[in-house]
């Protein structure tokens, strides 16, 4: 441990962000790095606990805790403090294929489980992780390392999101010939088209896919398995298949007026914006000079707010059916669970700067969309109160709380219900009660021999870091199926 008293002497400092007014004028990433000396100081705050909770991904009483990919966090924090950046990168790469992604977009359950967080603000683990990864690329330490031979086995990975990329990377290291199928025109899945550029620059995603291609992974884009590529051909041409197609079936809002023009699913808005940005064109769904209402309070809703602001919207409101979270942990949300507290994310910060107030309304529910000449002009909402009934908390309408909001663009950011049905049905795969592909965690094997499932397609909507965890683990089980045993971690 480099500095035993570091956590007593040094305050937590997050890496800086670009000024709000500046970043609202472009699509560049808004997170910056600490200068090296400050990054080393933040690493010194790590206590190197006797029992670190940060680097073990757990679910405690239904809440996330710790790092799902088991990053060796105390080790690389100490190495950064001592200026041993290349060694820190080596530790990080042992557990995480894509730290440049998680360092940017992970909500950092590791920080929620930091032991220091019991008595003081936790270590800035996420910022240090990104700094290590970005320095690795800048210094030329991260380079293609193709395998020295091949096993003679061919594996198809369907889907090129974080689970698919992690799975492909690991199987390639095991000497298998890996082909990744992606129905979009670019590799990356939600990393490319689901997360806005200001959070994850698309050149970062392209850099990693180029590196994997240089290592021998074959990418086939613009091909949808089960539609433009028959599943029979998939089974004939490959010795094993790993499905990493995500949970892309969006949750709908079936209330009166849903068929009005101007109401869109959030992912159609976000993916269309990224496509237009990459092509240098105008997005098909634009928020410019429009009154925008975003329904949904999660990360996707925040991304819609940030994107609408950059378009130049006239106003933006974000609706959340859940109550406003507390400012500090409640008694039923103890450490080391992820703290369910009120946070002001980048989209809310930017809306407050532009319009003078946080755009969120809590404990409200939309009941009717209002239209004029076939297009949405607003919506009627009401307040809700949460009541415990038969052991479940349920929202109940507050009588007399109805009001209207103006809106000529409504974005539905209500999450996802599970994977699309085309491919699972074509392969005759068993589903679990939630509609996900049935494959036990740890084995990842479906009811069809040689077909595995991982990531959101198996577990449901989740985090990028959990997708990487599952992609890695499914690769190990696929390797074991092909070779009888596996040396993959």
Q: CA-CA distance, 199 to 205, in Å (whole number)?
A: 12
pLDDT in the model for residue 50: 85
Beta strands in 356-420 (DSSP E): 360-362, 364-372, 375-389, 392-397, 403-406, 409-412, 416-418
Q: CA-CA distance, 65 to 199, in Å (whole number)?
A: 23
Q: What is the pLDDT of residues 403-443, one digit of tens each?
A: 999 999 999 999 999 999 999 999 999 999 999 999 999 99
Task: Residue count of the chain, please give it.
Answer: 489
pLDDT in the model for residue 415: 96
Q: Where are the domains of the chain?
A: 6-138, 154-248+417-483, 254-414
Q: CA-CA distance, 415 to 346, in Å (whole number)?
A: 19
pLDDT in the model for residue 61: 83
What DSSP letter does each residue of 231-291 carry, written as one string?
Answer: HHHHHHH-SEEEE-----EEPP---TTTTSBTEEEHHHHHHHHHHHHHHTS--SS--TT-E
- Six token digits for residue 256: 């009166």
* Percentage of residues of the chain with pLDDT beyond 70: 100
- CATH of span 154-248+417-483: 3.50.50.60
Continuous H helices in 359-441: 422-426
CA-nearest of 187, 354, 192 to 272 is 192
Query: Residues 329, 306: contact at Cβ < 8 Å?
Result: no
DSSP state of 489: -
CA-nearest of 54, 66, 76, 56 to 2 is 76
pLDDT in the model for residue 245: 98
Burial class (CB in 10 A: 0-12, 13-18, 19+), 154: middle
pTM over 0.85: yes
Domain 254-414: top CATH class = alpha beta
Is the fold of 6-138 the same as that of 154-248+417-483? Answer: no
Strand partners, 136: none
Q: CA-CA distance, 225 to 157, in Å (whole number)?
A: 10
Provide the 3-class DSSP secondary structure of residue 419: coil
* Mean pLDDT split into 10-residue runs, the chain, 489 residues: 86 96 98 94 92 90 89 96 97 98 96 95 96 98 98 98 98 98 98 98 98 98 97 96 97 98 98 98 97 97 98 98 95 93 97 98 98 98 95 94 98 97 96 96 97 97 96 98 97
Domain 6-138 has CATH 2.60.120.560: no
CA-nearest of 68, 18, 49, 55 to 462 is 68
Q: CA-CA distance, 377 to 411, in Å (whole number)?
A: 13
Count CA within 13 A, CB hemisphere, residue 63: 16
Query: Residues 382, 263: contact at Cβ < 8 Å?
Result: no
């Amino acid at each position: 441990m480099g500095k035993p008293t570091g956590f007593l002497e040094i305050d937590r400092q997050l890496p800086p962000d670009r000024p709000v007014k500046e970043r609202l004028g472009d699509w560049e990433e808004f997170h910056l790095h600490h200068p090296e000396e400050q990054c080393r100081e933040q690493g010194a705050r790590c206590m190197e606990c006797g029992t670190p909770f940060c680097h073990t991904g757990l679910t405690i009483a239904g809440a996330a805790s710790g790092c799902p990919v088991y990053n060796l966090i105390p080790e690389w924090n100490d190495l950064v403090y001592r200026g041993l950046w290349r060694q820190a990168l080596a530790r990080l790469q042992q557990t995480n294929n894509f730290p440049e992604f998680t360092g940017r977009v992970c909500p950092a359950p590791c920080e929620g489980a930091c032991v220091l967080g019991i008595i003081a603000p936790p270590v800035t683990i996420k910022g240090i992780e990104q700094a290590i990864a970005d320095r690795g690329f800048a210094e030329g330490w991260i380079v293609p390392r193709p395998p020295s031979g091949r096993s003679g086995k061919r594996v198809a990975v369907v889907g090129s999101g974080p689970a698919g990329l992690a799975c492909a990377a690991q199987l390639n290291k095991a000497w298998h010939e890996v082909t990744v199928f992606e129905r979009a025109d670019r590799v990356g899945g939600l990393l490319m088209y689901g997360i806005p550029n200001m959070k994850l620059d698309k050149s970062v995603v392209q850099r990693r896919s180029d590196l994997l291609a240089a290592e021998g992974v074959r990418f086939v884009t613009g091909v949808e398995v089960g539609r433009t590529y028959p599943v029979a051909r998939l089974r004939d041409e490959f010795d094993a298949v790993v499905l990493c197609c995500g949970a892309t079936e969006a949750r709908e809002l079936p209330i009166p007026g849903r068929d009005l023009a101007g109401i869109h699913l959030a992912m159609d808005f976000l993916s269309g914006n990224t496509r237009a940005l990459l092509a240098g064109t105008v997005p098909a769904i634009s928020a410019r000079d429009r009154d925008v209402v975003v329904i949904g309070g999660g990360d996707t809703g925040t991304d819609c707010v940030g994107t609408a602001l950059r378009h130049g919207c006239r106003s933006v409101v974000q609706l959340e059916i859940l109550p406003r979270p507390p400012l500090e942990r409640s008694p039923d949300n103890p450490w080391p669970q992820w703290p369910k507290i009120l946070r002001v994310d980048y989209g809310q910060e930017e809306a407050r700067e532009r319009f003078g107030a946080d755009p969120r309304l809590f404990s409200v529910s939309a009941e009717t969309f209002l239209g004029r000449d076939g297009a949405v002009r607003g919506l009627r909402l009401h307040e809700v109160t949460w009541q415990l009934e038969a052991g479940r908390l349920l929202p109940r309408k507050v009588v007399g709380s109805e009001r209207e909001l103006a809106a000529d663009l409504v974005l539905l950011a209500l999450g996802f219900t599970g994977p699309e049905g085309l491919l699972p049905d074509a392969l005759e795969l068993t589903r679990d009660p939630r509609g996900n592909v049935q494959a036990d965690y740890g084995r990842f094997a479906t009811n069809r021999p040689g077909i595995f499932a991982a990531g959101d397609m198996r577990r449901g909507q989740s985090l990028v870091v959990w997708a990487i965890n599952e992609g890695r683990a499914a690769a190990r089980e696929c390797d074991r199926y092909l070779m009888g045993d596996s040396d993959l971690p």
